Structure 1
Amino acid sequence: MPLSPSAAALLGLVAWSLLLVFLLVNQRGLLVLTGRMKVNVFAADGSNTPSAFGKRLVRAHANTLENLPLQAAMLIYAIAAGQTAITDPLAGLLLGARIFQSCAHLISTSALFVWLRFAGFFVQLAILAWWLLRLAQLV
């Protein structure tokens, strides 16, 4: 049975979160294995990571996980309630906006990239709000 766009987006959101954590583990593992940091000194917020990219990676991963429950809950509800006709049309855009936001976060914290990151985040919020209204039969 082929995946619906909603199910594919749900798995994609999880896969993206998993990819970011693998990148984080790899980056930290290399720091430990090369003797640049001790295994027990990493700050949870990435503040003591020696590279700017490492700090951005920690924050991009955390932001992805902060938003995953809202996105997953909406998609799981639609799938369980048989309402994927509501979520399917925008499911791919939601996933794309999430990946876009994370990539903008990983690339730079310049004003331009903060605005781009916000645009990706806003698209996600707008989609979730639309789905909530539709799933709750408020529109």
Structure 2
Amino acid sequence: MSPTAFVVAAYIAWTLMLIIAIEAVRTLAVLRQGRAANTFLPDGTDISPFAHRLSRAHANCYESFPLVVGPLLLALAIDHPSLTDPLAPWLLAARIGQSCVHLASISLPAVQLRFALFAVQLGLVAWMLARLIPGGFAS
């Protein structure tokens, strides 16, 4: 498996882990607090600040999926993962880092770090696209 294919699978696994964590938090609320399973708000604000951050971190993953994973899938589809392999692990690291910072805090420094990690992802995606597009400046 190429690094590009691994990163696609790992991104999906990371998103899955976040939703499993959401379900675990909700299950605990049902079991410990007697909450009805059909009363949860989608954004987690009715559970705790952490549950809200967890819901947003998960949403960030699926909202960014086409942008972040799109170039990787394109590279695999055109049989040129060698163009994305070197940077794909860094893309995944920046995505997971962004999620972890989001889970940890919403302080100003944390938000700035989250933005920096998102900016890294955007830069990596732009570079990958430039390499993938025939006649692009990095081909």
TM-score with structure 2 setting the length: 0.93
Spell out structure 1 runs of 4+ moving beyond 6 A: none
Per the alignment, residue 33 of structure 1 pairs with 31
C-alpha deviation, 1:35, in angstroms: 2.5
Aligned position for 1:128? 125
Q: Distance in 1 between matches of 2:113 and 2:34?
A: 33
Aligned residues: 136
Deviations 1:22-70 (A, max 9, x none): 1110001110111252211111122222x21111101001111111122
Question: What is the one-letter code of the residue matched to 1:116?
Answer: L
- 1:87-116 Cα deviation digits (max 9, x unpaired): 001000000000000000000000010011
Matched, 1:11 2:9: yes
User: Which runs of no fewer than 5 residues in structure 1 stay unpaired?
Assistant: none
- The Cα shift of 1:72 comes to 2.2
Task: Determine what percentage of the aligned residue pairs are the same residue.
Answer: 45
Q: What is the match of residue 88 of structure 1? A: 85
Q: Give 1:71's aligned amino acid.
A: V
Distance in 2 (CA, whole Å) between partners of 1:46 and 1:133 is 38
Scaled by the length of structure 1, the TM-score of the pair is 0.93
Which runs of no fewer than 5 residues in structure 2 stay unpaired?
A: none
